[in-house]
Amino acid sequence: MTKNCPSFTRHQSLEATQVIPLFDSSSTIFTTTPPFKPKAGEVYVLKLDIGHENDWRSDGYRWVQIAARRLPTHGPVIKKCYFHTGKKIKIK
């Protein structure tokens, strides 16, 4: 189902066992357009075409990657990236 509203809200990191079912379920609400300025805790499942994998970055915030690691799973390879929002430096 396509919808541009949060799939759910969460204030803690998602584990691999919670993420994999989101992509396997036909009942998962997903969007093909990144939300603009989502609120803290809102979780969106994006379905992006090949070549558009980084479109999620156009959500109105400036993201800075601080770490990445592969999650140990027995299924698909999952790369978990950690980001924080960065503020633009104003030069006077």
**What would the mean pLDDT of 25-43 be, rounded to a whole number?**
81
**Alpha helices (H) in the chain, listed in sequence order:** 16-24
What pLDDT shows up at residue 89? 53
Query: Which of the four pLDDT bands, split at 50, 70 and 90, describes residue 83?
Result: confident
Q: Residue 85 corresponds to which amino acid? A: T
- Helix or strand holding residue 16 (H, E): helix 16-24
Query: Which of the four pLDDT bands, split at 50, 70 and 90, describes residue 7?
Result: low
